[in-house]
Amino acid sequence: MSQQKVDQKKHDKANRKSIVRKKKFEEIASLVCVTVIAIAIVGWIGYSIYNKAEQAKAANATYEYNEITTTAIQDYLNTLN
């Protein structure tokens, strides 16, 4: 082995705890980032669906309903008898 490889191996062995700690931290940080992004996407989809449902509900509420009475038809039918 070359001297450079030997020195690198000694350095890695001496700092093994900090290297392992750093890798664990990177894994946890990436997991947290993925989780936050997933929650944001799910929240955005939920808000979009809720907003469309509210718009549809508001559109249905704008219709005017007219009451139809059948008294004229009843009077006509009564005159036929």
Element (H, E) at 73: helix 71-80
d(CA 27, CA 15): 19
- Res 1 pLDDT > 80: no
Q: Which two tokens stand for residue 38?
A: 């997933």
**Model confidence, pTM:** 0.56
Question: What pLDDT is stored for residue 45 in this prediction?
Answer: 97
For 10-61, how does the pLDDT look when each residue is reduced to its tens digit (9 = 90+)? 888 888 888 899 999 999 999 999 999 999 999 999 999 999 999 888 877 6
Q: Is 50 helix (H, G, I), strand (E, B) or coil?
A: helix
